[in-house]
A and B are shown apart, each in its own frame.
Chain A
Amino acid sequence: MIIATYVKHVPDAEARLAADGGRIAVDDHAYALDGMDEYGVEAAVRLKEAGLADEVVALAIGPARSEAALRTALALGADRAVLLETDDDLDPLAQAGPLAEATRACGAELLLVGGKQADWDSAALGPAVAEALGWPVCDWTTELRLEGREVAAVHDVDDGSEAWSASLPVVVTTQQGLNEPRYPTLPNIMKAKRKPLERRPLTATARVVTLAAALPSRARRGVRLEGDAATVASELARRLRDEAKVL
């Protein structure tokens, strides 16, 4: 059984952003493998280590720099990587077709996708690619077991959690709680440099156009209340009622 795991090269949480002519500009050095994708790589590698999978293929869509995220996935234990290379900002629906095609091409029957991308802030990619593949999707997954071809999972729903099961092939979106991702060790980082990484040019058309971009900062009152606990507490209670009018 082959597992495909999708990785994205995204700005890290502390990256400096600038709004620049209808686009968000990010300091080029501040990119890293999306934290949400690490859970998928870890899940795939653990299934392989347990003898339940034969190969782990890391897939990415993005510009040339995305190779760094794929190398991280390889250092974490993926066997080979494929980059569908494009400089365009593609919305999740536009990525779904090419990603589905690449998933089929590598023969994968389990596709792991991060629960929410840290750049487009979207939880859409996993479900969108599941639709393109015609497979069921288990979203926001916190437990994943494989027995033969049967997948048993637990995932978050709006007011709690739900058990979920299906036969392969399936798409699973990953999140915190699924596992504790490992760190790449130095020898594995060196080994990853020699693992196969294939780059294919991608032409796809975005379905969503960004018209404007801004870095809003909600104006906060920024009031500091000082004094002993009883004084600040009654001052706060009064201001919440009379000034903010929220009580």
Chain B
Amino acid sequence: MILIAIDHAHGAPRRGAFELVSAARGLGSDVAAVVLGGPEAAPVAAALAAFVPSVVHVDDAALDHPSHERRTTALASVAGELGAEVVLLVAGRGGQAVAPRLALRLGGTLLEDVAAVRRDGTAVVAERLAYLSRASLTVRATAAPVVVSVKPGAYPAAAPADAPGSVASRSVAFTAADDAARPGERRSVARGRVALEEADVVVCGGRGLGDAASFERLVVGLADELGAGVASTRAVVDAGWRPYDEQVGQTGKSVAPKLYFALGVSGAVQHLSGMNRSGTVVAVNKDGDAPIFKASDYGIVGDVREVLPALRAALAGLD
């Protein structure tokens, strides 16, 4: 059977959960979802039952914002009990840390950060990017169970199933090792704006914006108008104009929106590796030789300070 681990926030599954449903359906029809968390997670489990035949809710408040170790133990316990052959997680920050621990704990194999996963007979085969996303590898797991972390955005969100599934609650026992780490206070990024990995449109600004105020006015302004996520390059983050969690690239987030605006961004390999799976890419840069143009569908050679206000006016004028 295929087990999917559900990420959730504010009592609802994150979009990645529905992408995992799509990935799991491609591997088999016997799919179960596992939801971790106290009573606040109950509606998440109920929501998932519309998509998969069986949902397990590990109902324990110790799993609200858990350490990687607690999460690993809870998932390992459910995967073991259900005899999961494949466990799918979203390759966000949390999933990337839990998946390797889980794979080792289960004595299986890890296929991490994959763009696609399929069966080849009984084997599990995946496509993944390597070398700063410049190369694509087809990889096969040598031992079951196979833990797979799936890139956000790699699969479309699934539609509900024809028949609703069932929800079962269970508990899990933790060990002292699970409590060695003590996660503390969380600082979330500004609410109200769509999460970068979930955004259909991402507006990214680079050093070409000149300063923090212009970034705010031009990049954030356009993003808010489009209901888009805001991203930045490392140069912008290093300059202190924007927070780390907006950075896209090798050390930052990996995004694949339908539309990506790269504004005043040179297009360094480390940046491209975080955005080159985007659908349509638009670049605005005053240097016609900037490498970003080779990675773009539409390129405008010009000054962001002139092009952006004009673009906002033009977008507002579309009927």
Tell me whether A29 is interfacial, beta carbon within 8 Å: no
A159 and B188 in contact, given A24-B135, A139-B68, A215-B134 (Cβ under 8 angstroms): yes
| B269 CB within 8 Å of chain A | yes
Q: Which 8 A-B pairs have the closest CB atoms?
A: A163-B184, A136-B181, A233-B310, A128-B100, A221-B297, A237-B314, A229-B310, A212-B138
| Complex interface bits, B95-115 against A, C-beta within 8 A gives 1, otherwise 0 | 011111101110001111100
Subset of 30 A-B contacts with CB under 8 Å: A13-B270, A36-B251, A93-B103, A93-B104, A93-B110, A121-B132, A121-B133, A123-B113, A124-B112, A128-B101, A136-B69, A137-B69, A158-B7, A158-B195, A159-B195, A162-B184, A162-B185, A163-B186, A165-B181, A165-B182, A166-B180, A207-B109, A215-B136, A221-B298, A224-B293, A229-B310, A232-B300, A236-B298, A237-B317, A240-B280
Beyond the given pairs A121-B132, A122-B112, 15 more chain A to chain B contacts, judged by CB atoms under 8 angstroms and listed by A's residue number, are A24-B135, A93-B110, A127-B98, A132-B104, A137-B68, A140-B93, A170-B181, A175-B251, A211-B138, A213-B137, A220-B296, A222-B296, A226-B301, A236-B311, A244-B297
- What per-residue 1/0 map shows which CB atoms of A6-31 lie under 8 Å from chain B? 00000101100101000010100000
A166, B182: Cβ atoms closer than 8 Å: yes
Pick from A68-76, A112-120, A191-199 the stretch touching chain B: A112-120
Q: List residues 127-147 of chain A with CB under 8 A from any CB of chain B.
A: 127-128, 130-132, 134-140, 142
Neighbouring A residues of B276 by C-beta, 8 Å: 218
- A159 and B96 in contact, given A136-B67, A164-B183, A237-B318 (Cβ under 8 angstroms): no
Q: Within 8 Å of chain B (Cβ to Cβ): is A167?
A: yes
| Residues of B close to A207: CB separation below 8 A | 109-110, 141-143
Of chain B, the residue at the smallest CB distance from A118 is: B132
Contact string against A for B residues 106-148, beta-carbon threshold 8 Å, 1 for contact and 0 otherwise: 0001111100000000000100111111111111111100000
Interface residues on B, range: 35 or more
B182: chain A residues at CB < 8 Å are 164-166
If over half of B's interface residues share one DSSP class (helix, strand or loop), that class is named, otherwise mixed; here it is mixed
B186 contact from A140, A161, A221, Cβ within 8 A: A161
Tell me, yes or no, whether A109 is within 8 Å of chain B by CB. no
Enumerate chain B residues within 8 angstroms of A221, measured Cβ to Cβ: 297-298
| Chain B residues closer than 8 Å to A225, beta-carbon distance | 298-300
B250 interface contact, C-beta 8 A: yes
Tell yes or no: B239 within 8 A of A by CB: no
* Size category, A interface: 35 or more
CB-nearest residue of chain A to B313 = A233
Report the Cα distance A144→B73, complex, angstroms.
26
- Measured between beta carbons, the chain B residues less than 8 angstroms from A209 are 139-140, 142
Tell yes or no: A182 within 8 A of B by CB: no
